Amino acid sequence: MKTIQRSLAALELLLVFPAVLFMTSLLARSLQPQQYEPAHTAQRIVDWYASSPHVGLWILLIALPLVVLAIGSITLRREWRHNQALRTAAREAVGILRSHVSALLIAGATATAGGILVIVALHMMTD
């Protein structure tokens, strides 16, 4: 059973990779002027997706992620029903998260502030 799950995980990563590449390219092209790398390459990737909407949009950005969503949902639901250890671990994890919710909120706010500062700094460097 572990071999099947590992194969499904590898398949899902492979199927979702084109969408991740596109989204990463969208981010990379906006970080610096497009005459510099990696923004130039990122723009070429975005242009390729845009030039073939049937393949780029419908297959790589909609169909493949939907297949991953379906396979993942079915696999997780099946695993949840048949694996008592998973259900127990999930309950324990929720209990741990509940007992430390204030620390998690502080960590989340700190990470958000750091992300905002990075975005502002990158924006200031490009102006």
Give me the number of domains the chain comprises: 2
pLDDT tier for residue 122 given thresholds of 50, 70 and 90: confident
Of the chain, the percentage scoring pLDDT greater than 70 comes to 98
pLDDT in the model for residue 71: 94
* pLDDT, mean of residues 100-123: 90
76/101 same-domain check? no
Residue 58 has pLDDT above 90, yes or no: no
DSSP secondary structure of 1-64:
-HHHHHHHHHHHHHHHHHHHHHHHHHHHHHHS-TTSTTHHHHHHHHHHHHH-HIIIIIIIIIIH
Distance, in Å, from the CA atom of 76 to the CA atom of 47, rounded to the nearest integer, reads 35
25/58 same-domain check? yes
Residue 111 has pLDDT above 90, yes or no: yes
* pLDDT, mean of residues 76-93: 94
118/70 same-domain check? no
pLDDT tier for residue 1 given thresholds of 50, 70 and 90: low
105/67 same-domain check? no
* Angle of CA points 48, 31, 62, to nearest 5°: 40
> What range does the domain containing 7 cover?
1-82
44/100 same-domain check? no
Residue 120 has pLDDT above 90, yes or no: no
106/124 same-domain check? yes
Amino acid at 72: G
pLDDT in the model for residue 80: 94
21/66 same-domain check? yes
63/102 same-domain check? no
